[in-house]
Amino acid sequence: MSAHCQLTGAQPGFGNNISHSHRRTSRRFDPNVQRKRYWLPSEGRYVRLRLSAKAIKTVDTIGVEAAVARIRARGVEV
């Protein structure tokens, strides 16, 4: 399961772990992505979205209809 948000497009960032001796090894900063199910009244069905924690708050603010419209505008199938 990829760490990618359907609404905001948030994806992993990359960097380094730095040890006490200052050796560097690769690491990955994953966004806090959750699977969330919303009722979509216009289509009379539930949609299951992969959203970051920030995007879940955005859906609470703008509504699920507007959020799905934004997701579809990005070219993601819902």
- pLDDT tens, position by position, 8-52: 999 999 999 999 999 999 999 999 999 999 999 999 999 999 999
Strands (E), 1-78: 13-18, 24-29, 33-40, 45-52
Task: Report the pLDDT averaged over residues 55-69.
Answer: 97
Q: What pLDDT does 2 receive? A: 82
Q: What pLDDT does 1 receive? A: 54
pTM: 0.86
Q: Which of 10, 9, 1, 72 is nearest to 40 (CA)?
A: 72
